[in-house]
Amino acid sequence: MEKKRLRRSWSRTNKALSSRSRSLAVGLILFGLGLVSLFIGHVASDLHWSQFRRRIRPKVFHNKRLDIWKSNYSDFYYGCSTRGANFRYAVPENRSNGYLLIATSGGLNQQRVGISDAVVVAWILNATLVIPEMDHHSFWKDDSDFLNIFDVDWFISYLSEDVRVVRRIPDKVMRSMEKLPWTMRPPRKSVPDYYLYQVLPILRRRHALQLTKFDYRLTNRLDDELQKLRCRANFHALRFTSSIENMGQKLVQKMRNMSSRYVAVHLRFEPDMLAFSGCYYGGGDKERAELGEIRKRWATLPDLSEEGERSRGKCPLTPHEVGLMLKALGFQNDTYVYVASGEIYGGEKTLQPLKDLFPNYYTKEMLADANELEPFLPFSSRLAALDFIVCDESDVFVTNNNGNMAKILAGRRRYMGHKRTIRPNAKKLSMLFKARSQMKLDWETFSTKVKYAQSDFMGEPDEMRPGRGDFHEFPYSCICKKDVVSSS
């Protein structure tokens, strides 16, 4: 009897195990099929993209078909940030969830990022946005307010359908508030849910809320309608004051009077930037001591390998390397070059090799009369705005770094018509510069390899891939493709 029970029990156990085994096997098969499907979908997506890419732009590395002054394929794309039909309109000030105050951080272009993102956050919170407060305490020590740099009336008017913007909280509202506005600092790259669940309840309770150090406090990944609002704020609503715009256009005209086209180079080679990067530029013990002392300002910076940073492409190009890159790409010695820069580490000695390669070298200080620049001189943000305009209007924009101005201008130039924008492929170029300095490459070989290395860093429309990189640099949701008719 006992043996029969044991046999029945053993039989049931075997069946259960067999059933579980079959379930596990089926599960593994389905999982495997899912992976295969995902892989095939990914390959198909890349294949579709590559086929589209080949259809509009045959891969060109170093032959004469590449126009270094203008993309031949920008006509396939256009900037598109019009609000959708179902995108919520701004509510009246007295029906909003409260007043949102923003304290920006950093230099002009870092603050520009914060302002653009603040507009989106105000929409998410259904809040009334108060004209943002500019940073007066950063490294640049500029006491300019928003109205000294940007056209306030235009900013308010342009955004009126999306977000209600006011110059300040009305006195009547301030007197009725029991406490001063609450202050908080959101984490970097916060998602909309953070603002809805962590910020909105405080805003409703206090009626006014200030977000501090507001730079890159909103995620890169938003739905397309919010990304388009970001673009409307950045590329349209933020317009410089007439005094800045007029002076900037004067500088542009002076460049145009000398040449029908020009290259603008944003040259970040200030001592503090080099110290922060942890890179070494061959200046011996003097350079290491000077930059090491500056580096002490940032207590949390890790010890970095000089060679490691360079091999990873983390080091800004020197002025000489920028010149070599431009020459290798095919820009001639008589090219007119406008340089936007701050204090260059090493001064004239550092700049001379670039000037030797391109003698038609100009800065705003060289183009403008002293009395024309005088009103702007005490204000680093206003001077940066002049450089921004001249770089934006250039035929070719080149950068030696991947800082805020480089990113903002690259994105703006994509949006405004894919004007040629050259970012250095620093990782590959560093090896080429090293080989060149060691006499391992003749000029023709060096030039060919530079063109190859830079082939996907020339500002061509198809360099963008949705979801990759910083949105302000690659505003993919705001750039539309025209219908392309296959020739086959």
Which tokens go with 355?
Answer: 């000037």
**Beta bridge mates, 337:** 263, 361
Q: Say yes or no to pLDDT of 439 above 90.
A: no
Give the whole-angstrom CA distance, residue 83 versus residue 239: 19
Q: Rounded to a whole number, what is the largest CA-CA distance in the chain?
A: 113
Q: How confident is the model at residue 167 (pLDDT cuts 50, 70, 90)?
A: very high
Please state which of the ranges 97-106, 255-264, 301-310, 437-446 shows the lowest mean pLDDT.
301-310
Q: Say yes or no to pLDDT of 109 above 50.
A: yes
Question: 411-427 pLDDT, tens per residue?
Answer: 999 999 999 999 999 99
Q: How confident is the model at residue 10 (pLDDT cuts 50, 70, 90)?
A: very low
Question: 338-357 pLDDT, tens per residue?
Answer: 999 999 999 999 999 999 99
Extended strands (E) in 185-299: 208-211, 263-267
**Predicted local confidence at residue 241, as pLDDT:** 98
CA distances from 376 to 94, 197, 285, 372 (A): 39, 43, 37, 8
Q: Are 139 and 157 in contact (CB under 8 A)?
A: no
| Separation of CA 436 from chain center | 31
b/e 384-423 (16+ beta carbons within 10 angstroms → b): bbbbbbbbbbbbbbbbbbbbbbbbbbbbbbbbeebbbbbb
Q: Which residue has the higher pLDDT, 93 or 18?
A: 93
Residues 6+ apart with CB under 8 A from 472: 113, 116, 230, 234, 407, 408, 411
Q: Are 482 and 78 in contact (CB under 8 A)?
A: yes
**Predicted local confidence at residue 49, as pLDDT:** 40
Q: How confident is the model at residue 42 (pLDDT cuts 50, 70, 90)?
A: very low
**Predicted local confidence at residue 432, as pLDDT:** 96
Q: Say yes or no to pLDDT of 179 above 60.
A: yes
Q: Which residue's entry shows tokens 């500002």?
A: 459
b/e 271-300 (16+ beta carbons within 10 angstroms → b): bbbbbebbbbbeeeeebeeebeebbeeeee
CA distances from 359 to 82, 338, 349, 364 (A): 44, 11, 15, 16
Q: Which residue has the higher pLDDT, 139 or 220?
A: 220
Report the alpha-carbon angle 481-110-145, nearest 5.
120
Q: Say yes or no to pLDDT of 26 above 50.
A: no
Residues 6+ apart with CB under 8 A from 201: none
Q: How confident is the model at residue 25 (pLDDT cuts 50, 70, 90)?
A: low
Q: Average of pLDDT values for 284-299? A: 90
Which tokens go with 433?
Answer: 């510069």
**Predicted local confidence at residue 11, as pLDDT:** 53
Question: 110-164 pLDDT, tens per residue?
Answer: 999 999 999 999 999 999 999 999 999 877 689 999 999 999 999 999 999 999 9
Q: Average of pLDDT values for 463-484? A: 85
Instruction: Find, among 379, 407, 416, 390, the residue nearest to 147 by Cα.
Output: 379
Q: Which residue has the higher pLDDT, 50 or 369?
A: 369
Q: Indicate the average pLDDT of the chain.
A: 87
| Separation of CA 387 from chain center | 17
* Coil/strand/helix, residue 273: helix
Q: What string of DSSP letters covers 397-438?
A: EEESS-SHHHHHHHHHHHHTT--EEE---HHHHHHHHHHHHT
Q: Say yes or no to pLDDT of 263 above 90.
A: yes
CA distances from 128 to 83, 96, 187, 190, 192 (A): 19, 6, 22, 20, 17
Please state which of the ranges 16-20, 235-239, 255-259, 275-279 shows the lowest mean pLDDT.
16-20
